[in-house]
Amino acid sequence: MASARTARIGVDVGGTFTDFVLHDPARNLVATGKRLTTPDDPSRAIVEGVERLLQETGLAPGDLHSIVHGTTLVTNTIIERTGACVGLLTTAGFRDVIEIGRETRYDLYDLFIEAPPTLVPRHRRIEVPERLDVDGTVLLPLDENTVREAGRRLVEQEGVEAIAIAFLHAYRDDRHERRAAEILRASFPDLPLSLSCRVAPEIREFERTSTACANAYVQPLMRRYLEKLEASLAALGFAGQLHVMLSGGGIAALAEAKEFPIRLIESGPAAGAMAASFLARLAGLDRVVSFDMGGTTAKMCLVENAAPDRKFDFEAGRVRRFQKGSGLPLKVSVVDMIEIGAGGGSIARVDAGSGLMKVGPRSAGAKPGPICYGRGGTEPTVTDSDLVLGRLDPGYFLGGEMALDPGAVRRAIETGIASRLGVAHDDAALGIRRIVDETMAGATRMHLAEKGRDPRRYTLVAFGGAGPVHAYDLARLLKMKRMLVPLGAGVASALGFLVAPPATDLVRSHVARLERLDWAHVNRLLAEMAEEGRALLLQAGAAPDAIRTVPAADMRHVGQGFEIPVPLPAMALGTDDLPAIREAFFASYRERFGRAMEGLPIEALTWRVACVAPGRDISLEGASARAMESHTDAARAARGKREVLFEGAGWLPCTVYDRYALAPGASFAGPALVEERESTCVIGPGATVTVDNYRNLVIELP
């Protein structure tokens, strides 16, 4: 009999669908699921999906070791401004830091520029007499009576649900912030507090204060959500561990998520990048572009040497989606990706001003959804166009669980798009597809160009419910020659939760030129961060002897305005390490800017420690249980033909293959369709397909 508590479930809550992957190594079992997201209460879809997976696999809740969860709830809360009523305590004279910002305009020539709205209005920002200097020396003691009075006013008169505390130079010395928190907790023990010295202990007052306010803004909502999810799963009989995905791609315990929910802001998208990294490593690919297209958005990420690019700042809720500086700056570790409003639910319309067709970023979401879902949608979407172009089978969507209505789509496209543009119905549907593909290709080119990368040298790894449907045309537009589509592509982001490592990032700022560094102080900071990180990873279930620490520092030439991350040679540093540190800085500088200025002095600003434990490898062989048998002869996996409209080639007959019946070694040529329960892979004319040893479709483009 198989051992109990070995099964794990990854859950990705998206804007349209909630995806599930169950893996049980003891039973060699992989099972997948997909349910429409329940926006009013995302936990409902999670519990229903988990319950169904258990029924389908014959497992009991007691067999589950853990559930790993990611969500877009933090992002949506900030974008939609539906968070908590928040107050801010700050140093006297610094009340308006979050409005002054960097004193720059993100668009110099827009006379009517719209500033990103603050999360804390001015009347709920209270100044407190206190002052530390840049070295942490107390210039003015904390006025404790003002803190008490400010707390009473914010809670009793303003009705705040959370308070952020951000004092000047608290990254250097946190004594005043911690004392203010003690005073507030004495009067309001259950009030959520966000201390900037805990949330983002880094230099730069604007970014640190903004991050503390954003954390306070989402903290009450996330606490309620996670506690409700815990209770609902417990009622189901789940007694295992519930973990969450951080924006940087690591797995953390609920305690960290409740205290620092802002670290979950890119939680869901990060899982897709981790899945792509895992798949790239299995396939032996060192240069990959991850392409995750769901119902609401498309996410593209650069993955090199089986690891996604990462960065340590992020802008949330931009007023203009692609305009840097138009959002709320956050100091959090995130997977570096570009995310655009181009998903299956993206709505197509004819712009009244220009008379041109536009697609996205507005989405039909889960409710009402695309027209073809029959749930009340009235505006044509990308999924609707894919259906009438022959790319989707109306009788096999979600494995046949949801019947699609192509007739309603044709009528809507004809009246809403084709007749208004004066074009044929097929051309209108093809235009929707072409616009969304060009939008994604343009965003991907920009993302890679900023990093000095050429997409032609990369393999496209496509997943998400709509990813494999659009990947062939996207790769063709980017002039890529190869793409890879994994088994279970429609729920691959949920797979990312199961292969991601327990990991967290710690940060402290200490500014000095390299030759003037206080190495004892630096080593003390690194050791403190390593100890804190190890404690967090132990809570997340990591084995103590498997945790490794990776130090780094943000450095720049003296006089420069911005810094770059630089790897450090060891956790304990001294003057003997200076040559290695300098060379590491020059190497990072050359990689980013193409040259190095070796005669100029260097200073370090911020010190980082990444704590990481090994992720888990997963075999996808158990997923073949959906088919009675699989075949190396692709013809035996064929289950009919369907006409598909390809741009420039017209309607072509495509062989439809059962994804689960294709064994490693099978090969065939396009045009073709490969169908599985959660997605369909479209292969254009001239392409060749091979199923590799890991059951990936490896597609070579002409």
Average pLDDT, the chain: 90
Model pLDDT, residue 322 = 67
Angle of the 144-152 helix axis to the 175-187 helix axis, nearest 10: 50
Q: Say how far apart CA 496 and CA 70 lie, in whole Å.
A: 10
Contact 65/94 with Cβ under 8 angstroms? no
| Residue among 542, 489, 335 nearest 21 (CA) | 489
Query: 549: exposed, middle or buried (C-beta count within 10 Å: 0-12, 13-18, 19+)?
Result: middle
- Transcribe 73-95 into DSSP letters: HHHHHHHHT----EEEEEETT-T
Contact 192/137 with Cβ under 8 angstroms? no
**What is the rounded average pLDDT of the residues 663-678?**
92
Q: Say how far apart CA 50 and CA 65 lie, in whole Å.
A: 13
Look at residue 431 and tell me whether its pLDDT is greater than 90: yes
Model pLDDT, residue 321 = 67
Contact 383/343 with Cβ under 8 angstroms? no
**What is the rounded average pLDDT of the residues 219-240?**
92
Grade residue 268 by pLDDT with cuts at 50, 70 and 90: confident
Coil, helix or strand at residue 548 = strand
Preceding amide of 468 cis, omega within 30:
no
Q: Which two tokens stand for residue 326?
A: 């138009």
**What is the rounded average pLDDT of the residues 626-654?**
86
**What is the rounded average pLDDT of the residues 162-180?**
96
Model pLDDT, residue 626 = 47
User: Across the strands, what pairs with 35?
Assistant: 18
**What is the rounded average pLDDT of the residues 622-648?**
78
Q: Which residues contact 147 (CB under 8 A, 6 or more apart)?
A: 89, 128, 180, 183, 184
Coil, helix or strand at residue 517 = coil
Grade residue 620 by pLDDT with cuts at 50, 70 and 90: low
Contact 673/685 with Cβ under 8 angstroms? no
Considering the chain, what percentage of its residues have pLDDT values greater than 90?
A: 58
Per-residue pLDDT tens over the stretch 312-332: 888 887 777 667 888 889 999
**What is the rounded average pLDDT of the residues 125-139?**
93
Look at residue 625 and tell me whether its pLDDT is greater than 50: no
E strands of 161-294, at which residues?
Answer: 162-166, 193-195, 241-245, 251-253, 287-293
Considering the chain, what percentage of its residues have pLDDT values greater than 70?
A: 97
Q: Say how far apart CA 243 and CA 262 lie, in whole Å.
A: 16
Out of 27-36, 287-296, 478-487, the most confident range is 478-487
Contact 171/508 with Cβ under 8 angstroms? yes
**What is the rounded average pLDDT of the residues 12-17?**
80
| Secondary structure percentages of the chain, helix, strand, coil, to 5 | 40, 25, 35
| Residue among 485, 480, 474 nearest 433 (CA) | 474
Q: Where are the domains of the chain?
A: 85-191, 267-341+453-498, 346-434, 503-612, 625-693
Out of 114-118, 206-210, 561-565, the most confident range is 206-210
Model pLDDT, residue 3 = 47
Q: Which two tokens stand for residue 377?
A: 């949608």
- pTM, rounded to two decimals: 0.87
Look at residue 564 and tell me whether its pLDDT is greater than 80: yes
Model pLDDT, residue 2 = 41
Per-residue pLDDT tens over the stretch 183-194: 999 999 999 999
**What is the rounded average pLDDT of the residues 358-386?**
86
Look at residue 40 and tell me whether its pLDDT is greater than 70: yes
Q: Say how far apart CA 124 and CA 143 lie, in whole Å.
A: 18
